[in-house]
Amino acid sequence: MPGPTRDMKPGAKPQNAGKSLRRIMGYMSEYKLQLILVIAGIAVSSGAQIIGTSFLKRMIDQYIRPLSEHYSKDLFSGFVKTLLLMAVIYLFGILSTYGYSRIMVNVSTKTLYKIRVELFKKMETFPIKYFDTHAHGDLMSRYTNDTDTIREMLSNSVANFISSGITVVGVFIMMLVFSWQLTILVVIMLIVMLKVIKTIGSKSGAYFKTQQKELGRVNGYIEEMFEGQKVVKVFCHEEASKEQFEKLNNDLCEAATNANTFANILMPIMGNLSYLLYAITAITGGILALNGGITVGTVVAFLQYTRSFSMPITQLSQQFNSVLSALAGAERIFTMIDEEPETDEGYVTLVNAALDENNNLLETREHTGIWAWKHPHSDGTVTYTQVKGEVELDNVTFGYEEDKQVLKEISLFAGTGQKIAFVGSTGAGKTTITNLINRFYDVPDGKIRYDGININKIKKNDLRRSLAMVLQDSHLFTGTVMENIRYGNLTATDEEVINAAKLANAHSFIKHLPQGYDTLLTSDGANLSQGQRQLLTIARAAAADPPVLILDEATSSIDTRTEALIEKGMDRLMNGRTVFVIAHRLSTVRNSHSIMVLENGQIIERGSHKELLDQKGKYYQLYTGTFELS
């Protein structure tokens, strides 16, 4: 099976930043009213700053300079009124800033909620192959790190961009009104600043994509180490693990350093350029004032506008890197969302059925214990085939990779209620057969029929509902024991769950748990023994009540005493069902109707336990211990 993909090309840039930005805005389309309020609030906030600054000219020229020459009660009264008016204007600006910030946080939170929901829903449509070929930590990083960068952009950067844009336009107009000569000087310096932003910003953006990917690799490795700590310590690989982590962390450090080096130097450079602009403007304005071209109040107000003009540009440069990082993360998210879902061209469905007085199948809503395949035809007619659990593989050839075949011309037939066992060395193709029956992977050559129907015609969900699997690696979810067993059939009643537990012989140990069936399981059932966890997965399969059962090394993690305890329960569970068993422990397959011995993707022997012993071939060698499974 192919390993996880590692698409980690250093210095990769977002393929289409504009497209990613438009898609993000598309998620915000239903919040148009809130966005209008945000823009209005930003306009009021920016306008208050611009208008408030314009009062400086009036205060200096009409009140402060005359008052410095002679005191006048009327002048002082006018000065106080003007000062109070400025305070009211700035207060409106503060309230507007608070208002639009709160609204923008609400919009960004809801937008991220929608993105995460769509991402998770899409992930649930992916085929098993996708998860086999992608590092789980990297996928998890898209839910955490990448969405966090989008949150930062939406809650801060977007508002700052709009605010800066309005401020720059408004201040530019006021500067033209106050002094066109000084405005030309500011525009020349602005061109220089924009050139600097473009040069440094382009270098910074090239590394933010790499930083997000390297972060995903680090997260994936940490996740693996969490899950495999026992293995690490058993084999004393702590030092090797640390060395590998240091290498991955060093790659992340290098990518982050490259990305943030340019991001961090941009702000100081822009700050120094703005100070230089302020100084040059002050000198030029002073010369014009001395020559009588403009008033002192005009120079003071213009200098303030100069700061207000350069500051938004500096803020834009600061937010530019945040936006680049967010768009890099967004592209990774949208790449996952745009992945092709698992295709399903099946049209045969699984339905509840009942028999009429003539023993004809009739579809019914109630659960009768009888299942049927509902098969619509092109002429509009519908036929029903009772589910018997007959499975046939006809010359099936398959490989996870095109140039490497795992199965070669496999043919077998499992009749109703038969137990078919697969034995063979690791990698012989035993689990692959069950993956094909479940349609986790589709067969390129040959056919698999279920009750005489090609499984490609059966809807995947309906096909899988008719099957239940007990895997070697028992996986339990966070929740109660009752909820974990009910996972096999979400509509099962408490009584049906308990009966399923009794069928699997899990009821006795569940009763002795602190809260019985209401005992909360966490960390994949870490508070249970391995055997108890496996018993719960067997009970989960019993709750599903399927016509076909697949046991993939189901008892490999259970000791012989526990195995003997559940043997009767397993027999009851398998009674009347078609069962496929994969086992290394040959004692568990002796009572199988047919045992298939696989080697290098081919069935080299088949027959009952006795027949295979009589042949004195590979199975005989395995059973007698003269040859061991590996």
**Digit-coded pLDDT (tens) for 279-291:** 888 888 888 888 8
Region 40-64: mean pLDDT is: 85
State mean pLDDT over 544-569.
Answer: 72
How would you classify the pairing of strands 578-582 and 419-424?
parallel
Task: For residue 130, give every residue at least 6 positions away whose Cβ sits within 8 Å of its Cβ, in sequence order, or none.
Answer: 339
Residues 179-217 as b/e (b if ≥16 CB within 10 A, e otherwise) read beebbebbeebbeebeeebeebbeebbbbbbbbbbbbbb
DSSP tag of 61 = I
Contact 522, 478 (CB under 8 A): yes
Measured distance CA(147)–CA(224) in Å, rounded:
22
Mean pLDDT of 346-365: 87
Q: The tokens of 505 are what?
A: 């012989």
Question: Residue 91: is its pLDDT beyond 90?
Answer: yes
The CA-based angle 450-454-459, given to 5 degrees, is: 85
Choice among 214-218, 426-430, 561-565 with the minimum mean pLDDT: 561-565
- Whether residue 202 has pLDDT greater than 70: no
Contacts of 426 (CB under 8 A, 6+ apart): 629, 630
pLDDT score of 5: 38
Residue 501 near residue 484, CB atoms below 8 Å: no
pLDDT bucket at 196, cuts 50 / 70 / 90: confident
Share of the chain above pLDDT 90, in %: 19
Number of H helices, E strands in the chain: 21, 16
- Checking if the pLDDT of 565 tops 80, the result is no
Q: How many CA atoms lie within 13 A of 381 on its CB side?
A: 3
pLDDT, one tens digit per residue, over 309-333 is 777 766 776 677 678 778 888 988 9
Return d(Cα 368, Cα 91) in angstroms, integer.
72
Residues 331, 215 contacting (CB under 8 angstroms): no
Lowest mean pLDDT among 279-293, 295-309, 314-328, 575-589: 314-328
Instruction: Give the pLDDT score at 563.
Output: 66
List the single range of 35-49, 102-116, 496-510, 574-588 with lowest mean pLDDT.
574-588
Is the pLDDT confidence value at 585 over 80?
no
Question: For residue range 116-173, what is the model confidence (pLDDT) as tens digits?
Answer: 999 999 998 888 888 888 877 788 888 888 888 888 888 888 888 888 888 888 888 8
pLDDT score of 9: 37
Mind listing the pLDDT tens digit for each residue in 616-629? 888 888 888 755 44
pLDDT in tens, 230-266: 666 666 777 878 888 888 888 888 888 877 777 677 7
Unique residue bearing structure tokens 């030309």: 184
Least confident of 419-423, 435-439, 521-525, 562-566: 562-566
pLDDT at 392 over 90: yes
Grade residue 1 by pLDDT with cuts at 50, 70 and 90. very low
Average pLDDT score over the chain: 83
Which residue would you say has higher pLDDT here, 473 or 476? 476
Kindly give, in sequence order, each residue whose CB lies less than 8 Å from that of residue 629, ignoring residues fewer than 6 positions away: 423, 424, 425, 426, 584, 622
SS3 593: coil
- How confident is the model at residue 195, as a pLDDT? 79
Q: Is pLDDT at 12 greater than 50 in this prediction?
A: no
Which secondary structure element, helix H or strand E, spans residue 163, and what is its range? helix 158-178
* Cβ neighbours for 323, distance < 8 A, ≥ 6 positions apart: 153, 157, 161
Instruction: Specify the higher pLDDT residue, 1 or 323.
Output: 323
Give the C-alpha distances (Å, rounded to integers) separating 568 from 124, 421, 601: 36, 18, 32
